[in-house]
């Protein structure tokens, strides 16, 4: 591919061609492990996080492992080729006519664009020997009739923007000057396409802004028929500027009113918009939990954004709050590693993250530096207040700090992100 030909192609097609040779093995292996099981494989994640590329990689895997091309049906519903497929009846009829072999692999990209698509999926499972893989850019994919129709017969594979380890791989970076490369990652984020355009600052800004606008318009405004778009935009900006802070609809309403952005907004409307932001995968909410009783607390959760590059697009690249973005990076990494992540409360202290999986619990504090005795004592105090024997760790950007204080581990964030067995 030559640079002079770029203008003749769709920008996103070029990006996919550039990055698809790099295999995200962790996600691909999950799909391979689930292959030929009765479960429908549902791949979810924010726009441009790599779902389409993953589906194409899986198609290549099938072709390279003995599956004939006429046994694979691949459809991307963001292509104009499928504009005439409006509803589940159209989808069923179209796919039915393509089935020529006994066993079929059906790969449907952004299938939520088809009205009542889940009815077609259910019929395919009943009528054919078919292995189904679908992707979607919002959580309505799984809160629709799909859950009812399939009654648990699906596996969700959550895909996230690149981890720092993947970011190094995609850029073909070595492990020299890691802090500089990490700051680049913090600034531009981990959407896979960024790695092929990051040397063109104007193109990066345009790309991230376009992704953000598309998420807001297609996945939130159009999907929910929102009329008060100004309120939605102001909520997004507030969350983006307050990553890792305690948030409530009352706080948002008071902020908008006190800054004369708009008169007090209806709390229920704000709550609805917050829910929509979660379902679009642009924002994630971490609830607060009482560490001793394990009870979820209903107030003052925290919000984290799916990608720091998108966050910096919203709030401005000159307004980078490194401390809270570090917290955001750690939160997303814990999700990638399969943990359910909450904010911990113990007596009068708060713990940044309580990370749980079926076999373990881990506690984390995140701070840019603990070189100050006051900061170190404060972070240690929160973890020391937890009266159990699960692993407790402080993550910091300080170098050569990997040691323990009374059983509490202190690790460099970059070392932790690149660790194999965390």
pLDDT for res 372 = 86
**Average pLDDT for 238-261:** 89
Domain boundary among the residues 108, 143, 158 is at 158
Q: What is the pLDDT of residues 50-77, one digit of tens each?
A: 999 999 999 999 999 999 999 999 999 9
pLDDT for res 402 = 63
Q: How does the average pLDDT of the chain come out, rounded?
A: 88
pLDDT for res 153 = 84
Same domain, yes or no: 121 and 235: no
Using 50, 70 and 90 to split pLDDT, how confident is the model at 11?
Answer: very low
* Range scoring the smallest mean pLDDT among 317-321, 357-361, 376-380: 317-321
pLDDT for res 146 = 63
pLDDT above 90 coverage of the chain, percent: 69
Same domain, yes or no: 223 and 292: yes
Query: In terms of residue numbers, what domain contains 233?
Result: 164-418
Using 50, 70 and 90 to split pLDDT, how confident is the model at 421?
Answer: low
**Buried/exposed code over 16-52 (b: 16+ C-beta within 10 A; e: otherwise):** bebbbebebeebbebbeebeeeeebbbbbbbbbbbbb
pLDDT for res 23 = 78
Q: What is the pLDDT of residues 264-284, one digit of tens each?
A: 678 899 999 999 999 999 999
Same domain, yes or no: 210 and 265: yes
pLDDT for residue 147 is more than 70: no
Q: Are strands 340-346 and 283-290 parallel, antiparallel or unpaired?
A: parallel
pLDDT for residue 15 is more than 50: no
Instruction: Report the CATH number that the domain containing residue 51 is assigned in CATH.
Output: 3.40.50.300
Using 50, 70 and 90 to split pLDDT, how confident is the model at 159?
Answer: very high
Q: How far is CA 422 from CA 185, 347, 355, in A?
A: 20, 28, 12
pLDDT for res 22 = 73
Tokens at 379, concatenated: 């972070």
Same domain, yes or no: 202 and 349: yes
Q: What is the number of structural domains in the chain?
A: 2
Same domain, yes or no: 217 and 154: no
């Amino acid at each position: 591919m030559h640079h002079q030909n770029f203008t003749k192609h769709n920008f996103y097609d070029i990006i996919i061609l550039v990055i698809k040779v790099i295999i995200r093995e962790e996600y691909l292996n999950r799909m391979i492990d689930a292959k030929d099981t009765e479960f429908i494989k549902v791949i979810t994640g924010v726009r441009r996080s790599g779902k389409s590329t993953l589906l194409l990689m899986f198609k290549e895997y099938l072709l390279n492992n003995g599956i004939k091309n006429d046994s694979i049906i691949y459809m991307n519903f963001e292509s104009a080729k499928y504009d005439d497929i409006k509803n589940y009846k159209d989808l069923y009829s179209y796919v039915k006519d393509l089935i020529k072999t006994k066993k079929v692999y059906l790969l449907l990209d952004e299938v939520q664009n088809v009205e009542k698509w889940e009815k077609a999926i259910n019929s395919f499972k009943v009528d054919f020997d078919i292995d189904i893989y679908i992707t979607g850019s919002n959580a309505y994919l799984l809160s629709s009739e799909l859950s009812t129709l399939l009654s648990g017969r699906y596996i969700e594979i959550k895909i996230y923007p690149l981890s720092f380890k993947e970011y190094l791989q995609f850029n073909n970076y070595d492990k020299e000057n890691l802090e500089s490369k990490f700051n680049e990652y913090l600034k531009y984020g981990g959407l896979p396409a960024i790695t092929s355009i990051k040397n063109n600052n104007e193109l990066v800004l345009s790309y991230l802004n376009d992704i953000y606008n598309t998420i807001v318009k297609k996945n939130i405004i159009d999907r929910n028929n929102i009329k008060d778009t100004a309120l939605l935009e102001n909520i997004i900006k507030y969350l983006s500027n307050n990553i890792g802070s305690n948030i409530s609809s009352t706080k948002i309403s008071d902020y908008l009113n006190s800054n004369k952005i708009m008169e007090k907004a209806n709390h229920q409307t704000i709550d609805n918009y917050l829910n929509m932001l979660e379902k679009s995968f642009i924002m994630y909410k971490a609830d607060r939990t009482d560490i001793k009783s394990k009870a979820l607390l209903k107030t003052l959760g925290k919000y984290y954004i799916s990608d720091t590059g998108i966050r910096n697009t919203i709030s401005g690249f000159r307004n980078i709050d490194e401390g809270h973005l570090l917290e955001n990076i750690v939160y997303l990494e814990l999700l990638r590693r399969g943990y359910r992540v909450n904010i911990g409360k113990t007596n009068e202290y708060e713990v940044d993250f309580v990370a749980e999986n079926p076999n373990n619990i881990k506690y984390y504090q995140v701070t840019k530096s603990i070189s100050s005795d006051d900061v170190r004592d404060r972070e240690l105090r929160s973890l020391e207040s937890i009266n159990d024997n699960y692993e407790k760790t402080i993550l910091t950007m300080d170098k050569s700090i990997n040691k323990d204080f009374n059983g509490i581990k202190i690790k460099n964030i970059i070392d932790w992100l690149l660790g194999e067995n965390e």
